[in-house]
Amino acid sequence: MDALVIGAGPAGLMAAEALAAAGRRVVVVDAKPSPARKFLMAGKSGLNITHAGPDFMAAFPDWLAPMLDSFGPDAVQDWCRALGQEVFTGSSERVFPVAMKASPLLRAWLHRLGNAGVELRMLWRWQGFDAGGFAFDTPEGREVLRPAVTVLALGGASWARLGSDAAWVPWLAEKGVQIAPFQPANMGFLVDWSPHMAKHFGQPVKGAALCLSTGLRERGEFIVSSKGLEGGGIYAVSRALREGASLNLDLLPDLTVEAVAARLNKARRGDTIAARLRKLGLSPVVAALVQEWGRPLPDELAPLLKALPVPLLGPRPLDEAISTAGGITRDAVTEGLALRGVPAEFGPIFACGEMLDWEAPTGGYLLTACLATGLWAGRAAATST
């Protein structure tokens, strides 16, 4: 071994592949019993590998542009095909493997890495720096490794049970690495429901527009859960909500308020609010939300359906978020993603993936950036010594 990768998620495995391709002897260590556990979890309901939309780059901070230019959506798709996994692009411009699962892609990738000489050591948990090297708790006891070059791919601070627990933060901070505090990203939001909403938990809200006080308007489906609201539509606006924007729902986004009022005026005089909502074609869960948050009089119903205020109590906890904002800041790394200021006795150290301070939406963006930064860091690390 002369190259060490700590973390066997997509970013770490991509860094290992780049190092091996450059002729380095690579060992990948991970605290969990098997690699890429968050990657596999993300693929359980259909692996969204990348996004083919024209505004892909707009989702990222500018400093990631060289990495995403080098390994963007087209390159990700070619990479999948080279591993024997054909892909297709859905109507939303999200790209999926035909198999729709992460496991076939991961198996093929691990096989290729093994053929390239990459060694995986599982249940090796990094415990910080010690005696000029990297200390680990392993099944055989404590080990200290002193590689020529190291790539860190330890993830952010969400889904600790899958490996991203941010335990590394104090070890890098004490070496002078600047780290922005972690915040939840692509997360659900808490709502204090009345007991009447319990029968609607797990139901999707479809066709609504999410309208923020910032002017942002997003069409997307979301789920009413026992804890609040979650799902793709909410995740798409979660950053603005986390930063303090308020949320209204336009429940009939294809109609003007006058058109909604005209339809409501056709109701019979004795119709209840529930009956009026049903005649508009609104689903039971949507009608329940109107009753939960609006309690309207009939003549107030049309404007309420076009701007239903949503009383959010704040984001779900950090560990429940799909991803995180925060991490190693841009100023703390070089153009090649090497950490600045770490003592030379540990050799060059690079970082990639969700350890870095960038934020992106779901829909293939996150995974592509993890792969791209892993490849970039691996290539830079391969030529560093």
Q: 341: buried, middle or exposed (CB in 10 Å: 19+, 13-18, 0-12)?
A: exposed
Domain end position, chosen among 256, 275, 310:
310
pTM recorded for the entire structure: 0.92
**pLDDT tier at 297, thresholds 50, 70, 90:** low
364 and 272 housed in the same domain: no
DSSP codes of every residue in 189-205? EE----GGGGGGTTEEE
Between 333 and 41, the more confident residue is: 333
136 and 244 housed in the same domain: no
Specify the 3-state DSSP secondary structure of 12: helix
52 and 154 housed in the same domain: yes
Per-residue burial over 91-106, b if 16 or more Cβ lie within 10 Å, else e, is: eebbbbbebebbebbb
Per-residue pLDDT of 184-221, as tens digits, reads 999 999 999 999 999 999 999 999 999 999 999 999 99
The rounded radius of gyration (Å) of the Cα atoms in the chain is: 24
DSSP codes of every residue in 39-98? HHHHTTT----EE--TTGGGGS-GGGHHHHHHS-HHHHHHHHHHTT--EEE-TTSEEEET
48 and 65 housed in the same domain: yes
Per-residue pLDDT of 244-282, as tens digits, reads 999 999 999 999 999 999 998 887 777 888 888 888 999
CATH code: domain of residue 31: 3.50.50.60
Which residue segment(s) compose the domain that 242 sits in?
Answer: 189-310
Per-residue pLDDT of 141-189, as tens digits, reads 999 999 999 999 999 999 899 999 999 999 999 999 999 999 999 999 9
Domain end position, chosen among 257, 291, 310:
310
Q: How many CB atoms lie within 10 A of CB 170?
A: 11
135 and 249 housed in the same domain: no
